């Protein structure tokens, strides 16, 4: 089973999201794919209630609970509405909202009391990649994000090199396989009920087939291509 997460970011307005979800909800997809859609937080609640046969993910939530926290999204907004997945630590959230590894660590802990499967995003910048320091960088991210004495439930880790997001650049299959193996190896002393590794960064209709040959991966996190019907149709029965 390959998990394909559609990260719609802030690309679509409410009507456009509704239109595309309607198309997804009416389409039959191959059994080997589990499609999960992450619409904007504004559209998510409405779409989840209207389209019961679609799997949804939150793009984000905050570590404050319910209360006087203007603009924040409590995790209960997701869990009480049976949203079963949530992105945590996406590089754009890290960049624009200054989310760091210790916040990601806190948010990850909040999911333990819910049925939400966290999709934790990690990845290095171009400079780190060029200096061949990727694994050192990921090691630090992992150490600061996960605790050895916590029993995690199902967790997805999305390896998303920052230089590949939205750029059209993609690491080679060999590079991605090695990183997936490295992440699993490095986390072998940690406790997960299930650990799945995804790749994200410029996945599109043209490179999907090639990237799908990477047997170490459990799926993909897809941004801009995932709002295109031509890409969505790749998973059709
Ligand atoms: P992209 O984005 O597919 O547009 O590169 C991926 C992501 O940010 O999750």
- pLDDT, one tens digit for every residue, the chain (237 residues): 899 999 999 999 999 999 999 999 999 999 999 999 999 999 999 999 999 999 999 999 999 999 999 999 999 999 999 999 999 999 999 999 999 999 999 999 999 999 999 999 999 999 999 999 999 999 999 999 999 999 999 999 999 999 999 999 999 999 999 999 999 999 999 999 999 999 999 999 999 999 999 999 999 999 999 999 999 999 999
In a mutational test of the pocket of ligand 1, which residue from 87, 198, 222, 227 has the highest number of ligand atoms less than 8 Å from its CB? 222
List Cβ neighbours of 138 (8 Å cut-off, separation of 6 or more): 122, 123, 124, 159, 179, 182, 183, 186
Q: What is the chain's length?
A: 237
The C-alpha angle 17, 18, 24, rounded to 5 degrees, equals 90
Ligand 1 centroid to Cα of residue 223, in Å, is 4
CA distances to 21, 38, 59, 62, 64 from 73, in Å:
22, 15, 10, 5, 8
What are the Cα distances from residue 196, in Å, to 3, 35, 69, 110, 155? 9, 15, 33, 19, 6
Extract the tokens encoding 110. 């909040």
For ligand 1, pick from 202, 207, 211 the residue to mutate: most ligand atoms within 8 Å of CB. 202
Q: Give Cα 112 to chain centroid, integer Å.
A: 17
Residues with Cβ within 6 A of ligand 1? Answer: 7, 160, 165-166, 200-203, 221-225
Asked if residues 130 and 91 have their Cβ atoms less than 8 Å apart, the reply is no
**199 Ramachandran zone, left/alpha/beta (phi>0; psi -120 to 50):** beta
> For residues 13 and 105, what is the distance between their CA atoms, to the nearest angstrom?
31
Residue nearest to atom 3 of ligand 1 (CA): 223
**Measuring from atom 2 of ligand 1, which residue has the nearest CA?**
223
- In testing the pocket of ligand 1, which one of 37, 165, 203, 208 has its CB within 8 Å of the most ligand atoms? 165
| Amino acid 25: pLDDT | 98
DSSP-derived letter for residue 51 is: -
For residue 200, what are its two tokens? 């994200």
Give the whole-angstrom CA distance, residue 163 versus residue 103.
Answer: 23
What distance in angstroms lies between residue 92's CA and the mean position of ligand 1's atoms?
10
Q: Which atom of ligand 1 is nearest to the CA of 165?
A: 5
Helix, strand, coil percentages, rounded to 5, for the chain: 40, 20, 40
- Annotated catalytic residues are 90, 160
CA of 221 to the centre of ligand 1 (A): 7
Domains belonging to the chain, first-starting first, are: 2-235 (3.20.20.70)
User: Measured from the CA of 158, which atom of ligand 1 is nearest?
Assistant: 9
191 and 151 in contact (C-beta within 8 Å)? Answer: yes
CB atoms within 10 A of CB 26: 9
* The pLDDT of residue 1: 86
């Amino acid at each position: 089973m390959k998990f394909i997460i559609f990260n719609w970011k802030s690309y679509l307005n409410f009507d456009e999201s509704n239109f595309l979800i309607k198309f997804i909800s009416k389409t039959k997809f191959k059994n080997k794919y589990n499609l999960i859609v992450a619409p904007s937080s504004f559209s998510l609640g409405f779409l989840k209630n209207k389209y019961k046969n679609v799997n949804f993910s939150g793009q984000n939530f905050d570590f404050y609970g319910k209360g006087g926290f203007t603009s924040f999204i409590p995790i209960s907004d997701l869990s009480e509405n049976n949203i079963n997945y949530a992105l945590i630590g996406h590089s754009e959230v890290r960049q624009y909202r200054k989310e760091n590894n210790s916040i990601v660590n806190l948010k990850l802990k909040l999911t333990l009391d819910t049925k939400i499967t966290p999709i934790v995003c990690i990845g290095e910048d171009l400079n780190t990649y060029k200096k061949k320091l990727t694994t050192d960088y990921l090691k630090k991210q992992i150490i600061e994000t996960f605790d050895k004495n916590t029993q995690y439930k199902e967790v997805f880790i999305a390896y998303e090199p920052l230089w590949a997001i939205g750029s059209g650049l993609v690491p080679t299959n060999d590079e991605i396989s090695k990183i997936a193996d490295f992440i699993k190896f490095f986390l072998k002393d940690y406790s997960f009920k299930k650990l799945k590794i995804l790749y994200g960064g410029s996945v599109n209709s043209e490179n999907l087939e090639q990237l799908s040959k990477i047997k170490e991966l459990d799926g993909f996190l897809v941004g801009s291509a995932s709002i295109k019907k031509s890409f969505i149709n790749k998973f059709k029965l």
